[in-house]
A and B are shown apart, each in its own frame.
Chain A
């Protein structure tokens, strides 16, 4: 790391997370004073976007090479009142909560009180959305059966493909014009809607160009005032870069990075989509620029490294917009999930690992930043060296990169009906979510609490916590004669709640399609321009809506315990089991030990237990997969929790596996914390029994102490471990390499561990920023593996 990068990195690490009211003020100004009432929604949204980009303050930092901030300064984070409005109470919570807080100044509070709240109260998308949900949806939501991703944030989750590294905004405007010319107003009844969308896209494209020109002017002014010759030259060069991109296709490595960065800012300024935005297969996209400039002698490896490092800092300057309530609980982190993909295969199916892959791996290792996240795609065609270089980073305990199975991702995409080349150009984003990059709108819609549904099944549709009948009466468990009776009841409940979730999603998707279209994002994803249709309305080539299942390990162990003790061995009656969980195992200490220590558990390659995992998985799959979404695509499942297993655990009573009420559920498809005791091969075998190809991503966490990484021989063994899991179609595995003592010390002396990053569940986070319960859970997991 050179001095410049050290400076920028330190600045980014030390910047305070501050709430900025600038965007809220501009948006309010627009909707209050400037809104052209007669224009259709896409044009209104594009003009709002233009208003922000023409008027927001610019930030150009000392020593920067890549410029542009979403807010007025690094980590100054805007709000999106058209989506969700923060009350004064919310602002006070944000300002004072111990984790993932944002400093709220007196001025911001006043602006909110006087301008923002009076205008938006009762008018936000969140208000409209909640008003549209049915009573049964609300009962299930309040009980903690599922969460709703679009409640405070816009649909997104998408990733940029190759296209934008070969095109500028002016090219896209030409494409919009061509599409406009092709409209048939006599025969196509949607032609006028399409014309409006294309008009909106053109406004949005032009707005981003203007934004870049504003930077160019500011850079030229700075250059004029700059005394230092070297910096003056840099500033002039940067000004020229901002003149070229994003208006035109990038020609140099520097331009490519700045080009993407403006596009990124555009997407996260237009709305607050989940998972921000993501350049996707960065090594593939950048290699041609690097190769061309290396050959011409205009850029060496060290210069490329410096530019990449400056680019990395930019991601780290942008925390996820502030989340409240359930949204904060399900994704309690500053991370905004831009997951850089490396490796994998090219469109023609050949090994895609290149020189840029290795350079970016070095950058990840050196930078050790929370954002962007990173992953490697490993397929049968990629060399072991690629895995070894990845293990070199993982062993430092930094929790990145996570490791994905390219061959499984491609099969998943093909099963969903994607073209083979689109599938090969895909990858994973967010935590572990499969998508076709640049061609697909794949939207996560919320987590689904499989464990809570089992609890409700055991209470004949009644939720003991909210004291409401939230599900159908599927029978008093005392009347179940066989284990299969219980499974049938559970299946009915899963189906019922999936129906409710999907019924809500269809309304919410329509709401975003009609009220909050995203003309700027639509420019970037094929085939929105050709279809004259918005990303949120089904304009993309492929459309998928995901519901993310949570608690597979907990459910599996609970079902195994019921089958084992109540039906097979008859060590306890159903009545006894119900009494035990209703009393949170008070006076059932002996039986609870039996459950914890002497009952078949998922994660040990034990078919008796694992059968319940595949059964539950299949029930969930059948309840969701293939059902139509509003945007013209299908609903699919994936299995990941972010931090939702903690929230879902907090609303779920004691379970038959011995888990106490309120404690976290298992995360992803990992075994219950501490339940696996036959080593990693057994965990992988258990996890591979569900059919990963039928999902859009699964998450498996495997803890290792540094001792598993101590010589070349152990690298080979870990590589074999990964490759075998992938032969079994496993989707993803991540390693957490850290000792429990280190973590305990970090809990006591957080100040000494400001840079300590741990893998949480599909993403990494600063240990200091985790809630105490999650910290404890990670310590417990670590201890178990030592």
Chain B
């Protein structure tokens, strides 16, 4: 049995795929997106975080570790706890992160254990992984939550720290035999919140053979900013101006016109 480093296992997660799900958060990400709202997911190793505890109005700051080693048996034990909820709701488990493919062996083992146990699986990925790892993962997964941020390679590198060649080629490798795919696009003001950006992404989708079930547009929010401070990390930039609900609707229209089922939020 192998193991890996996770930073959370969250139950009754209702925004990461169908039904009631348990989301397993892998620690470590090859990307460094400037809008990331889960900064504790980036560093592959466990790290300290300051947390506020309030008791009878008294606030106290304490150091805790975020992330630790889990064995696959421990993860499966946790997942199994909500099996009946998965059955009743058509739910299952979602492997998210961070980037789960950064710990490929661990991920593949968990996927195969879930398949044996008859549990529906989803992988929430940036797509930034070796073609081989990606392919193996896709063969073992029921649903992919695939993030596409921009088709512009230079911009991608400037805002996420890596180019998008691997991502786009992995996306292209998907075909009708592979898992169902939900494309997730973070809509970031000043980065990709334009018609042109969305139309370019539509082109990528159209050129693929993947079973695209839906497109989710995820509005930018600043909820994660406090965490940077708690982790002792530099504050990320604030992206402005905020995209209005009307603008979001218009951007969603681009995908609707192209024939995709679109939803705001995951």
Contacts and interface: CB of A to CB of B under 8 A. Distances in A.
Interface in B39-84: 53, 55-56, 60, 81-82, 84
A580 to B, nearest CB: 15
Contact of B14 (A592, A682, A714): A714
A721 interface: yes
A723 B88 contact: yes
Nearest to B87: A724
A605 B20 contact: no
Interface in A682-733: 682, 685, 708, 713-714, 716-717, 720-721, 723-724, 727-728
A5 to B, nearest CB: 38
Given A717-B19, A717-B89, A724 B12 contact: no
Contact of B20 (A597, A681, A685): A681
Contact of B60 (A593, A682, A714): A593
Interface residues of B, number: 19
A592 B84 contact: no
Contacts of B60: 593
A605 B90 CA distance: 21
B119 to A, nearest CB: 14
A603 to B, nearest CB: 12
B85 interface: yes
B197 to A, nearest CB: 27
A566 B11 CA distance: 31
A403 to B, nearest CB: 15
B184 to A, nearest CB: 16
A682 to B, nearest CB: 6
Interface in A651-688: 660, 678-682, 685
Interface in B2-32: 10-12, 14, 19-20
A690 to B, nearest CB: 17
Contacts of A708: 14
A607 B81 CA distance: 11
Contacts of B91: 717, 720
Given A717-B89, A724-B88, A678 B11 contact: yes
Contact of A720 (B10, B81, B89): B89
Contacts of B19: 716-717, 720
A596 interface: yes
B14 A717 contact: yes
Main secondary structure of the interface of B (DSSP, over half): mixed
B11 A682 contact: yes
Contacts of A660: 56
A597 B10 CA distance: 18
Interface string A722-753: 01100110000000000000000000000000
A597 B12 contact: no
B85 A720 contact: yes
A727 B88 contact: yes
Contacts of B88: 720-721, 723-724, 727
A593 B53 contact: yes
A681 B14 CA distance: 12
Nearest to B12: A679
A685 B86 CA distance: 13
A685 B82 CA distance: 8
B53 A724 contact: no
B76 to A, nearest CB: 15
A387 to B, nearest CB: 12
A717 B20 contact: yes
A716 B89 CA distance: 7
Contacts of B82: 681, 685
Nearest to B60: A593
Contacts of A713: 14
Contacts of B11: 678-679, 681-682
B134 to A, nearest CB: 29
Nearest to B51: A597
A728 B14 contact: no
Contacts of B81: 605, 681-682, 685
Contacts of B12: 679-682, 721
A721 B19 CA distance: 10
A724 B85 contact: yes
A714 B20 CA distance: 9
A721 B20 contact: yes
A660 B58 CA distance: 15
Nearest to A716: B89
Contacts of B87: 724
Given A593-B53, A593-B55, A720-B20, A679 B10 contact: yes
Nearest to B9: A678
A727 B88 CA distance: 9
A681 B93 CA distance: 14
Contacts of B56: 660
Contacts of A727: 84, 88
Interface string A553-594: 000000000000000000000000000000000000000110
A498 B91 CA distance: 45
A717 B89 CA distance: 6
B21 to A, nearest CB: 9
Interface in A52-68: none
Nearest to A604: B11
A605 B79 CA distance: 12
Contacts of B89: 716-717, 720-721, 724
A682 B81 CA distance: 8
A679 B91 CA distance: 16
B143 to A, nearest CB: 15
A723 to B, nearest CB: 5
Given A681-B85, A723-B88, A596 B55 contact: yes
A387 B60 CA distance: 43
10 contacts: A681-B81, A682-B11, A717-B19, A720-B20, A720-B85, A720-B88, A720-B91, A721-B88, A724-B84, A727-B88
Which 9 residue pairs spanning A and B have beta carbons closest together? A720-B89, A679-B12, A720-B88, A724-B88, A679-B11, A724-B85, A681-B12, A681-B11, A724-B84
Given A679-B10, A681-B81, A720-B90, 20 more contacts: A593-B53, A679-B11, A680-B12, A681-B12, A682-B11, A682-B81, A685-B82, A708-B14, A713-B14, A717-B89, A720-B19, A720-B88, A720-B89, A721-B20, A721-B85, A723-B88, A724-B87, A724-B89, A727-B84, A728-B84
Interface of A: 592-593, 596-597, 605, 660, 678-682, 685, 708, 713-714, 716-717, 720-721, 723-724, 727-728
Interface of B: 10-12, 14, 19-20, 53, 55-56, 60, 81-82, 84-85, 87-91
